[in-house]
Amino acid sequence: MPVKSIFSTDTFIEIDNGSTQIKVDYADLAGDGIGAKAEDLKKKIQEFFDTRFLKTDLATDHPDTDVNPDKPWYFWGQSDGIVHETDVAQNDHLIERGVQVVNVTFADSKYVVSIDHIWGE
């Protein structure tokens, strides 16, 4: 998913991928303190970029229902994009991740988002 623009003010951040936008008001972020709010914002932005497919919604002959593609951009995880390492049965979503949110920091009264595009083979 390409990133067309990221716009940040002292009250909200808006991200546009060309077809969809997300706007997050800083007042709606969970957590106490700037660090916790930055982590919540990072999670919300990553969820926006990820595409998730519930395993039971995939066709029965889909090649990845029996194997883990285990690629940085294509992997099994939970609905929130987190991979459960010890109980893999909880990883019931096939996740396609073309953009990785690397870091979210707070500077000059704004949150600053660092992202990387993840390219497939």
Tens place of pLDDT per residue across the chain (121 aa): 567 788 888 899 999 888 889 999 999 999 999 999 999 999 999 988 888 888 888 887 776 666 677 777 888 888 888 888 888 888 889 888 888 899 999 888 888 889 888 765 5
| Contact indicator for 84, 90 with CB cutoff of 8 Å | yes
Domain ranges of the chain: 1-50+101-116, 51-96
The neighbour count for residue 73, using CB atoms within 10 Å, is: 16
pTM of the model: 0.81
In eight-state DSSP terms, residue 70 is -
Q: What pLDDT was estimated at residue 119?
A: 65
Print burial letters for 6-30: b (CB count within 10 Å at least 16), e (below 16): eebeeeebebebeeeeeebebeebe
